[in-house]
Amino acid sequence: MSFTVKVKNEITTLDISETAKIALISAFFRNNYQLIDGNLVVSSENDRVISYLKELFDSYEEISYKEEFLDNNNFSKNKLKALIIIKGFDFIKDAFCLTDMVVPNYLVESDDDIRGYLRGVFLSSGSINDPKTSRYHLEFLINKKDEVVFVQKLLNNYLLNAKLLNRDKGYMLYIKEADKISDFLKIIGVTKAVLYYEEIRVYRDKKNKTNRLNNCEQANMDRVLQTSLEQLKYIKTLEDNLAIELLDEKTKEALEYRKKYQEASLKELSEIISLETGKSITKSGLNHRFRKIKELAMKFMN
């Protein structure tokens, strides 16, 4: 079961107010309905969503419907389960504000109603990636420009940074920031989905942080090794040319310690020399001695 299905299924279990239900039904119709042979039709691949709509419709004696299966035009093998309205077409248009090009303010007058509307939009046209996948992504596919602008405004009133993209057919409204997607799930009240999403997000963040630290540590080790190999190359050049005696005693001391502790960083090597000789030397001081070794070796390498 996909994460989208889990979220939609949880929406159908929520206890919401009557006005929020009206907003939800309106949003579902506005983003889903078709006219087939003069009949108003809503559909979904999700059986739970259709069962939920039936429960909502059954609370209105003005509405009668029949169930059918329709072909899916979204490149899916799954049939669409559809509710065909056979009574109450005019009632639905009026009660759920389908005759208005733009959603009237009174339909989303309260925060509770706005949340209901957003639930309906998600049930009809939303999808969300499982946080276990490689990217965070929440989207709504909406056909009408007035509707997508309205939904974007609702989302961004909650500071969700929803962005709009034109498609060949309609529009995509999307959110890619993990914390904003989590906020959306909280707004529509799907507590189980939020807990799952946050658990996976925290795990991924920790894993990514660990990987970055490991990569950083590996990069540091690689730099230490590269520096050591270069210093050993210059030392060998001096040995091959019998030029070690041209160095002062302190620099020769550094040379011998590098040969002895080939994998040590400059900081570690300075601490070893200070400890073993009783003469304090800093990383900077040690680096100065190796520059002398390099400068002398370069005279024999050119």
- Residue 96's pLDDT is 84
Q: Coil, strand, or helix at residue 87? A: strand
- Residue 134's pLDDT is 67
Q: Coil, strand, or helix at residue 209? A: helix
Of the candidate ranges 25-34, 107-116, 202-211, 272-281, the one whose mean pLDDT is the lowest? 202-211
pLDDT for 295 beyond 90: no
Q: Which residues of 119-153 are buried (b: 16+ CB within 10 A; e: fewer)?
A: bbbbbbbbbbbebeeeebebbbbbeeeebbebbbe
Average pLDDT over residues 154-178: 91
Please check whether residue 23 is in contact with residue 108, taking contact to mean a CB–CB distance below 8 angstroms.
yes
Q: Whole-angstrom distance between the N-terminal and C-terminal Cα of the chain?
A: 68
Encode pLDDT of 175-191 as tens digits. 999 899 999 999 999 99
Q: With CA atoms as reference, report the closest residue to 103 among 122, 121, 127.
A: 121
Average pLDDT over residues 251-268: 86
59: left (phi over 0), alpha (psi -120 to 50) or beta: alpha
* Fold (topology level) of 3-189: Endonuclease I-creI (3.10.28)
Model-level pTM greater than 0.95? no
Q: In which residue ranges of the chain is CATH 3.10.28.10 found?
A: 3-189
What is the average pLDDT value for the chain, to the nearest integer?
86
Counting Cβ atoms within 10 Å, is residue 249 exposed (0-12), middle (13-18) or buried (19+)?
exposed
In the β-sheet with 138-142, what is the strand arrangement from edge to edge? Answer: 126-128, 138-142, 171-175, 163-166
Encode pLDDT of 180-231 as tens digits. 999 999 999 999 999 988 888 877 777 677 777 777 777 777 788 888 888 8
pLDDT for 76 beyond 60: no
Both tokens assigned to 131: 């946080």
- Residue 73's pLDDT is 65
- Residue 115's pLDDT is 94
pLDDT for 302 beyond 70: no
- Residue 278's pLDDT is 85
The confidence band for 157, taking pLDDT boundaries of 50, 70 and 90, is very high
- Letter for the amino acid at 30? R
Distance CA 16, CA 6 (A): 18
Distance CA 200, CA 181 (A): 13
Return the higher-pLDDT residue of 98 and 234: 234
